[in-house]
Amino acid sequence: MKPEPLRALIFDFDGTLADTESAHRAAFNDAFAEAGLDWYWDEPLYTQLLEVCGGKERIRHYWARERGGIQGIDARALADTVQRIHDLKTAYYARLVHDGAVQLRPGVLHLIHSALDARLRLAIATTTSPINIAVVLRSAIGPDWARIFQVVEDASTASRKKPHPQGYLQALQRLGVRAAECLAFEDSANGLQAAIDAGLPTVVTPNAFTTRHDFTGALHVLSDLQGTTVADLRDWHATAPALNRHPRFERRPCPCPTVPLSRST
């Protein structure tokens, strides 16, 4: 049977399109300090916390498991406090981006432009907030970034966090293409699982925080996208094994995993 043609590319954002995690960590720590908390996430702790999906979920998880006492807090007050911390963090992150602390990963910009020249459709499927995407891509690409990525699924549109495939499934639906006509790009095990469960062959480019993840099932694992061409993508896509979707994921939310954490010093 003749393979499906490659029609679209769907990218994860944090850690895949851009090196964002170090800036996110710094912004979290700045937010904690401004909020009057003695919390500090060093690199080993933050690497573990990245197993938890979503920034607010990460704060809540750390508070509950490492700091205790969350059970005695009114649910509304807890949600308001987590939201305030996250809002502070988002503001600090935007400042870091403005100051040049976040860059696109090697090869990303060239591949984006090559894909556009080849008339491939581009999309983003991520668990981060829309403002985080906008501040980085506006800085790195310019105001036309929103026209380059025809579909963006983020924390505001896909409430079920990776490894749930909701973001990818919605991106496919909005693009109007089948999973067999696409490639996904990820940097983490959770992201890879989400893409695979949406039926997407996936190229993985780990970053410093995810290099030890298990990437079994990836189509290719590369250090970055430097030197990768559209011709390479077409060749890889043509030889990708067929993947089956898992429709059970479309009927239930994805709980974030419980991750045992060591105490931060």
Q: What is the DSSP letter of 121?
A: E
Helix residue ranges per DSSP H, 8-73: 21-34, 43-49, 55-62
User: How far is residue 18 CA from its own chain's centroid?
Assistant: 10
Instruction: For residue 154, indicate whether it is catalytic.
Output: no
Taking the C-alpha atoms of residue 238 and residue 256, their distance in angstroms, rounded to an integer, is 34
Instruction: For residue 14, indicate whether it is catalytic.
Output: yes
Burial of 8 (0-12, 13-18, 19+ CB in 10 A): buried
Angle at which helix 130-140 crosses helix 75-98, to 10 degrees, equals 0
Catalytic residue set: 12, 14
